[in-house]
Structure 1
Amino acid sequence: MEETKSIEPLIEVKPIVDVVPYNVDYEEALAKKSNGDELIFEYPTVYVISDKQAEQKQAKVPQFTVYVGETSNIGKRTRQHLDGDTKVREDWKKLKDSPNAEMMVVGDQYFNKSLTLDIENRLMMYLLSVDNIRHLNNRRTNPQRKYFMSDQFDEIFAGVWDALRDKKPELFPAQTDIESSAIFKASPFHALNATQLEGKSEIFNRVAHVLSNTKKVDNQEAAVIFIAGQAGTGKTVLLSNLFNDLVNSELTSHKGVNLLVNHDQQLIVYKQIANKLGLDRDNNDVVCKPTHFINEHQKPGVKPADVILVDEAHLLWTHGKQAYRGQNQLQDLLKLAKVVIIVFDKYQILTTDEYLDNAAINHLEKVASRTGNTITLKDQERMVANPATIDWLHNLAINQEVAPIPADEQYELKVARTPAEVYQRIKALDQNKGQAPASLARMLATFDWKYVDKKKPKDGKTWNVTVGDWQLPWNLQVPVSSKQKKRNKTLAWAEQPQTIDEIGSTYTIQGFDLNYAGLIIGPSVTYRDGRIVFDPSASMNKRATNNRTWKGQKINVAKELLRNELNVLLTRGVHGLYIYAVDQQLQHALLTAAGHEHILGEV
């Protein structure tokens, strides 16, 4: 007998939103505002308390502190906040005493506990990315699994967001604008998939075991937890989630958790997240660079950290450089903490400063595997694409093969006949901001054209990516006003408005998502005898092509690093990628692989 599957009925949720001053008279005001509506007082609700901060000079929009919560009894819960929480938490006392604080209560007849918990979690994920929200309180992450109406959650949340946006557009901008922000993509409030959830549980169990044991492990070094996975498999989201929960966990001590990253642009994002969530309240260095952490924690009398989380650990240096006087940043970190959680992808090692050979990587994995501390993520979480498309991109960079481009209704993978066509397409997408999924489209290129940071070429103009008569400046060169320059300090490269007229490299885009990427593959990537061949002599990336001393010998790993550079650039686009290759044979091979359906500008 054939098994029948129940079909969840389509439910039309039309949430109501009531806005009242947040003070001791809230209940009377809410009853009056809602006319005693039972949807507010008798059903589960979600609430948002916002406090408008004092106006800052030259500020175009006001700044807010926001608290998000959910409850089965809005009256009782608000009394707890006003009467109890104000006695033990300074943030709640400030909300109670502020003349500008308001409470928005959202209700609907179909709201249930699981649904309101998910709405609360999703609201925190979105509000974290709103520019004029300075602080976001309630740092709980509690996404639900399956429940009645869970399959319709995206539509339900969109309705809730629109209802709130009608009341307070300055707090609730267009969803599509938020979804393009770097903070949103690295938010700790993303719902984790089954593999990530299982990995998180294993990591917390291991952290608890190590921290409760006074003995150190692995020969006076920290316990290593190794999160492996290729680009786009959700490593950063898992790490961000772990970071938020560990800072707020009773497992760890005061100032006992640090998140480290060597990537300048990613550092900006994590610092913003930590600041908005108050994770840096007692520790300004809760997010910092590895060198700073090592230098501070090697000082006499400084206690080891409980847990260090290292994002993009493949960017850790493996020899002395600049202010770092050691020989291996990871080895130093293992001596300065009880647990070190690292995110690692050997296909994203980009410079000789970071180089590890396969033997060193295998040893690192074995150290973690001895105690079951290796978490491998395989599901593609970044790219909205079919597995065949993801395999095609992997084969292009890693296996150095150009196969026919597969059909994919979800992902727009196109080969352009000229670089100008790529730029025109990216520019058009950028001009359609707010129309999902168009915004956050940028140009990228392999590092095959000269660029010297903070210096100008002899003609005093800009360092450019040049193909024939077409050219565009390299990253971070387009001039901006002093006001915009100040604003850009809190924005990643791709989020700065002027960068639509620039081309980014791996040094500005690694670790970030774009909705659409336009990629110029430079002359260091060629096609000979049916295979991609990397030509280090055509690259301007000296950090990848210079020789390196490794285990007492001079080695050159340029081809391996240029392969990784191409791999990183090919995997930035969430919804699409447009390619042009400078090498004529590679361009011909790509156009042949594209056929008629995958040529940019053709139907």
Structure 2
Amino acid sequence: MENSALKKLSPLKPLTTDQKQLVANIIDFTISHLQTRHTPAIYTIYGDAGTGKSVVLSHLFQQIQAAARLDHSSPLYGSKNVFLVNHPEVLKVYKEIAGPFKELLKKDYYRPTSFINQIEKTGEQVDVAVIDEAHLLLSKADHYNNFYHDNQLIEIIKHAKVVIIVFDQYQVLRMKAFWTPERLQAIVNQYPHQSTYLTHQFRMTASDELLSWFNQFTAGEITPFPNNSRDHYDFRIYDNAELMRQAIFRRNQKVGLSRILSTSGYPSTLDGGKHYIVEGQFKMPWDQYNFTSTPWAEIPETIHEVGSIYTCQGFDLNYTGIIIGPIISQIPNTNQLQVNLDRVTDTEMFKRRDDLTNPVEIEQSKRQMIMNALNVILKRGVRGTYLYAHDPLLRTTLNQNYQTFLRRTR
């Protein structure tokens, strides 16, 4: 199967004119602050899922390292630079990218905790730290993962002259990595900084109106499907999860990279055993821990597993069959969704933290994280997205809206 993640993030992937200009601007920012500043400087790229943040970072880091290692005339020559990402599946892709490029080495890429613990021992400082998926940085101590400080971003800034990050508030998924734009800016505003906002959707061939429907849905509102929901995009609603599975299997046989994904709400424990999602005749196990160097989404055999937010985040799939699990249901007699916190089965998602004490803020944050996770998996399918809802009322409403849409657009 073609490694689509490698292709997507490769520095060989062409950039748009705007993306090239952004890379050039960040390099100018970096050189300026390395030459004139004694305090760290931070550049932040904001953008929703699919807006090209990671490919910009990949090109940026390749150009920085080419200047650092190959271009004797560059102000960046001889600089020491690292690329950090707190997502093991995405880290595998970046390490694989390093192979064909003589200016990129696998040792340039780290999980943030590994980098922080290593550099603290040496007392060194890097010139540039590039951070992908900064919304996944730990914002509290996590002894299980050998992080003993209060905030990974703060620790990285201590050990770098320039820090370049991408951030998406709608991909915050765990309390131990709890971020808001305000919490990020409270750190960034202490230093010379600059930012840019990416808005153009590159991943999905879906219309802007359907993407807007996804956003409204994950904001808790069920609205009619736009008339162009299927223009250049295969969007479907299913009232039978097994039939959806069969359709995804057929897509996978034809074009590859098609998977079933699900929200939380079904039995799931990291104990090495298989835990199944059952919906009528549908029965499939959750994704297994991936010990290989190949990302879960790129392994052919994972067509027989249900992907979670932790294995699909950051990756493109051709077609996705998405199960909206028991954690999300429709409020009777309304077109509103509710989050059922008592049905959450992801025990890692809501670990308590001492700096969050307001019960209202805590509950709102939990509900937002659930909807964030749904938003992320809704935006994996490049060519098509199929939906099935566990909640009978929501399933009926979505199917009725879909049938109305089909009659309206014939």
TM-score where L is the length of structure 1: 0.62
Partner of 2:174: 351
Whether 2:45 is the aligned partner of 1:227: answer yes
- C-alpha distance in 2, partners of 1:251/1:311? 24
Counterpart among 456, 460, 475 of residue 287 in structure 2: 475
Match of 1:338, SS state, is: strand
* 8 A Cα contact 2:220 2:338, kept in partner: no
- C-alpha distance in 2, partners of 1:247/1:518? 39
Q: Give the CA deviation at 1:363.
A: 2.8
Aligned residue runs from structure 1 range 272-351, under 5 A: 272-281=96-105, 284-300=106-122, 302-321=123-142, 322=144, 323-351=146-174
Partner of 1:505: 308
- Give aligned pairs, total: 395
- C-alpha distance in 1, partners of 2:286/2:44? 35
Match of 2:287, SS state, is: coil
Counterpart among 391, 401, 407 of residue 593 in structure 1: 401
Look up the equivalent residue of 1:273 and give its one-letter code: I
* 8 A Cα contact 1:253 1:306, kept in partner: no
* 8 A Cα contact 1:443 1:517, kept in partner: yes
Q: Give the CA deviation at 1:247.
A: 0.8
Partner of 2:243: 421
- C-alpha distance in 2, partners of 1:420/1:207? 52
Counterpart among 354, 368, 371 of residue 563 in structure 1: 371
Whether 2:234 is the aligned partner of 1:412: answer yes
- C-alpha distance in 1, partners of 2:190/2:402? 44
Look up the equivalent residue of 1:445 and give its one-letter code: S
Bigger shift: residues 229-238 or 533-542: 533-542
Whether 2:258 is the aligned partner of 1:446: answer no
Identify if the C-alpha distance between structure 1 residues 496 and 202 changes in structure 2 by more than 3 Å, giving closer, same or farther.
same
* 8 A Cα contact 2:131 2:166, kept in partner: yes
Q: Give the CA deviation at 1:356.
A: 2.0
- C-alpha distance in 2, partners of 1:553/1:517? 37
Q: Give the CA deviation at 1:229.
A: 0.3
* 8 A Cα contact 1:347 1:567, kept in partner: yes
Whether 2:185 is the aligned partner of 1:383: answer no
CA-atom RMSD in angstroms = 2.3
* 8 A Cα contact 2:130 2:165, kept in partner: yes
Match of 1:226, SS state, is: strand
Identify if the C-alpha distance between structure 1 residues 551 and 526 changes in structure 2 by more than 3 Å, giving closer, same or farther.
closer
Whether 2:356 is the aligned partner of 1:548: answer no
Partner of 1:526: 329
Q: Which has the higher contact order (CA 8 A, sep 6+)?
A: 2
* 8 A Cα contact 2:239 2:396, kept in partner: no
Partner of 2:19: 196
Identify if the C-alpha distance between structure 1 residues 212 and 447 changes in structure 2 by more than 3 Å, giving closer, same or farther.
same
* 8 A Cα contact 1:520 1:580, kept in partner: yes
Bigger shift: residues 326-335 or 401-410: 401-410
Q: Give the CA deviation at 1:187.
A: 1.1
TM-score where L is the length of structure 2: 0.90
Q: Give the CA deviation at 1:216.
A: 1.9
Normalized per residue, the structure richer in helix is: 2
Match of 1:431, SS state, is: helix
Identify if the C-alpha distance between structure 1 residues 236 and 367 changes in structure 2 by more than 3 Å, giving closer, same or farther.
farther
Counterpart among 236, 242, 248 of residue 60 in structure 2: 242
Q: Give the CA deviation at 1:592.
A: 2.2
Aligned residue runs from structure 1 range 244-259, under 5 A: 244-249=62-67, 250-254=74-78, 256-259=80-83
Look up the equivalent residue of 1:548 and give its one-letter code: R
Identify if the C-alpha distance between structure 1 residues 405 and 502 changes in structure 2 by more than 3 Å, giving closer, same or farther.
farther
Look up the equivalent residue of 1:290 and give its one-letter code: P
Look up the equivalent residue of 2:390 and give its one-letter code: V
* 8 A Cα contact 2:265 2:344, kept in partner: yes
Identify if the C-alpha distance between structure 1 residues 405 and 579 changes in structure 2 by more than 3 Å, giving closer, same or farther.
farther
Task: List alignment gaps of at least 5 residues for structure 1.
Answer: 1-176, 433-437, 457-461, 478-484
Look up the equivalent residue of 1:423 and give its one-letter code: R
Match of 2:6, SS state, is: helix
- C-alpha distance in 2, partners of 1:186/1:246? 16
Task: List alignment gaps of at least 5 residues for structure 2.
Answer: 68-73
Whether 2:89 is the aligned partner of 1:265: answer yes
Q: Give the CA deviation at 1:468.
A: 2.9
Partner of 2:71: none
Whether 2:329 is the aligned partner of 1:536: answer no
